[in-house]
Amino acid sequence: MRWTQHSEVTVYENPYLRVNLADVELPDGRRLEHYLVRLPAVAMATIVNDRNEALLLWRHRFITGSWGYQLPSGMVDEGEDIAAAAARELEEETGWRARGLRHLMTLEAANGITDARHHIYWSDRAEYTGEPRDAFESDRRVWVPLADVPRLLRSGKLRAAATVAAMLRLRQLSQPPPGAASLNGAQLSQTGRHAGRGARRTVRKVPTDRLRGA
């Protein structure tokens, strides 16, 4: 039951995406035109502290008119290392510089319409470098307890697909069966103010702006 693509032409293009029209043959022999969107890869990242809280953005998406928690993210520049892109986006949007990012998963969030792949990374080691350069990306930066993931899903405050998948996986890793590998405790150092709270150096427990309005 495989679809066969015979051709593909671009009908719209800008520096960020291409809208293409494909000539596709279905398994039963019928032909149809199928619109699709070609997008660069997306890099995403978060930090997990020693309280098993993940650093997320609380933000509004005008396209859907919805508020929710999301991972810092952005498109990977041509020729850029994906992990480096994830680290760059994390620091630009949160003010935290991660060390030793680890790959968590790669997703195809809507592969019936787009080829975009979301590459998700995480770290338990980071340094606070100051206020985020791209503070406009979110209303605030929040440490979200992994234990709260089910409740946030029920309330609709976690709804972005890649963020949902990442948070579920991180929660799973934070609650391993006996003898299995788990998330490591964070060893984070801070050089300035953390997202509006605290000013300490070389801390084991990150000064946490607790979940508000969750």
pTM of the model: 0.82
- Same domain for 11 and 78, yes or no, is no
pLDDT tens per residue across span 42-70: 999 999 999 999 999 999 999 999 999 99
Helix intervals (H) in 27-137: 82-94
What is the reported pLDDT for 42? 97
What is the reported pLDDT for 181? 59
Does residue 212 have a pLDDT over 60?
Answer: no
Which has the minimum average pLDDT: 58-67, 97-106, 174-183?
174-183
pLDDT tens per residue across span 196-207: 343 332 223 344
Helix intervals (H) in the chain: 82-94, 149-155, 161-174
Beta bridge partners of 57: 70, 141
User: Taking the mean position of all CA atoms in its chain, how far away is CA 7?
Assistant: 33
CB 51 within 8 A of CB 205: yes
What is the reported pLDDT for 59? 92
3-state secondary structure of 80: coil
- Asked if residue 72 belongs to a domain, the reply is yes
- Same domain for 50 and 145, yes or no, is yes
Distance between CA 8 and CA 40 in Å, rounded?
18
Please tell me the total count of domains within the chain: 2
Does residue 192 have a pLDDT over 70?
Answer: no
- Same domain for 119 and 175, yes or no, is yes
- Same domain for 117 and 131, yes or no, is yes
What is the reported pLDDT for 184? 57
What is the reported pLDDT for 183? 66
- Asked if residue 26 belongs to a domain, the reply is yes
What is the reported pLDDT for 190? 39
CB 182 within 8 A of CB 50: no
Report, as an integer, the average pLDDT of 125-133: 90
- Asked if residue 28 belongs to a domain, the reply is yes
Give the long-range contacts of residues 20-23, CB within 8 A, separation 24 or more. none
What is the reported pLDDT for 32? 96
